[in-house]
Amino acid sequence: MTKQFLGEALPKRPDQKTNRLTNNGGFASTLDGVAVDVRTIESGGTYTTPTLQGVEFDRMRRYGLVLSRWALPDTARRSKRLGKPLGAFTAASRIVANHMFRQVFDKEDPSLNTVNVIPYVNAIKSGNVTPELLHAVFALEGTGAFEQILKQLPGDGLAALVANSLAETQQVLRDNYVGSTAHHFGLLNGLHSGLVRNRKRAFTVYENIVHTIDYASQSTASAVEEQKRKAKRKAKGKPQTHKSSNKSQSGSENGIPNKTIVELSETTGGWQKPFLAKYPLELPHTGKLGRREIATNEGKYPKAFYRLVTDPYRRIFKRKTRSLGGVVVFDCSGSMGLSNDDIHRVLKASAGCSIICYSASNDESQDSKHGNIHLVAKNGRQVRYLPEFPGGNGVDLPALRYGYDHLRQNGRSPVIWVSDGQVTGTGDRSCANLRRETNRFIDRHHITRVDDVDEAIHLLAKLQKGIRS
């Protein structure tokens, strides 16, 4: 039974000429056809909703009413000022309206029987991925239609790349702007306020959403085009060029981007020969290394009055902070485990932290091709996806030595080894000599071993606060 709805239950916009909408016709037959244009000219704005009777048409009318409350005004001028396409602004308004619709109507899905996802899915599968297509897909975020698109995309090839980008951007939007626990979600209601200050704060959140989805759309479309060009070059049989004789390139495998393999000289008898895999560090992570100033809303002397206008939190004070960085070495053998979420949590605990993972196979040719030590985060950036690990140890000490010698930012940067303490060498065989050699190294260089990710995060948080005991 569809819940009856009164327009008075929704917050009203300020009583201004810009918010006085006139009917532009009743031609909408799908959710995409429902449109609201809130302008800043004397004639006000327009809206388009269906006039036919039926459950689906009633749902679209209610969606149009919600959209009229949360559609960003004056998008043409804002698009020109920010240099962002109009489609990104339309998508931002619809993303907010999708979440607000579910909140107002007891989690009802506005896309139910009003959106056909097949054209979107077929367009992505065909490889004809453009920023405009992705803007249209992002406009469905917060609805069941968006989830259907993700489910119907295959798990490999170009479509998988698009699906991963959509899912990651969806998580960013929900964590920061439109999630039920996001502070900005409450700021969006400032769009209805009679106070200019509150409306400016809401505009800032909308523009952040625009930046997020447009960046994701542009970068994803570019990545798809690059993959298509690489596939075309490969089909023509063009050889890949290499800049150095001690480096080899390995193509994209299972969605993992190209990597550079470097044979390390840090090896001793009994250990598997170490090969370092360096990946493109595509994603930024929390913070930068070293001493810096950050904004805060508490202090003695205001230093950033401009934040009264630009910062929704109005953080006009500043305080100095220090980040030690550090190195975390992950044992990714079969007895241990690591996920993308674990990496994100570690990086959040220590700004500027570097992370390497290691796991060797019994086949040296495979290690030379895929690497057995993997650099996945450094200098404020991290990989988009973790590689697959064969499950053996083999290079415990070479990995620790590389992390200590090459990745520490300074003498105070800690090195943490996440492992069960078991070490093996060539052929994944364990012996007392290898264990003694590893123990001497970690004792001499004050490397701390912990059993799991949670312990590493707890230790990093303590070190950042200057607690070393």
| CA diameter of the chain | 84
Q: In 10 A of CB 383, how many CB atoms?
A: 24
pLDDT tens-digit profile, the chain (469 residues): 344 333 445 566 655 555 566 666 667 778 888 887 776 545 567 778 888 888 888 898 888 888 888 888 888 888 888 888 999 999 999 999 999 898 888 889 999 999 999 999 999 998 889 999 999 999 999 999 999 999 999 877 888 889 988 998 998 898 888 887 777 778 888 887 878 888 888 888 899 899 899 988 988 888 888 888 878 777 765 444 333 334 333 444 444 457 888 888 765 678 989 999 998 887 766 544 445 566 777 777 777 766 666 666 667 777 665 566 789 999 988 756 677 777 778 877 776 788 999 999 888 888 888 899 999 988 777 888 888 888 888 899 999 999 999 888 777 788 999 998 889 988 888 888 888 999 999 999 999 999 888 888 888 877 766 665 5
SS3 335: coil
* pTM to 2 decimal places: 0.50
Q: How far apart are CA 176 and CA 101, in angstroms?
A: 19
* DSSP three-state, residue 85: coil
Per DSSP, 403 falls in state: I
Name 8's Cβ contacts closer than 8 Å, sequence gap at least 6: none
CB atoms within 10 A of CB 318: 17
Q: Which residues pair with 36 in a beta bridge?
A: 47
Packing angle, helices 75-82 and 86-104, rounded to 10 = 130
Rounded-to-integer distance, Cα 437 and Cα 430, Å = 12
Alpha-carbon gap, residue 372 to 360, rounded angstroms:
5
Let me know: does 345 contact 415? Beta carbons within 8 Å. Answer: no
Residue 136: what pLDDT? 93
The pLDDT value recorded for residue 418 is 92
Question: Quick one: DSSP state of residue 245?
Answer: T
Whole-Å CA distances, 247 to 11, 352, 401, 454: 61, 26, 20, 35
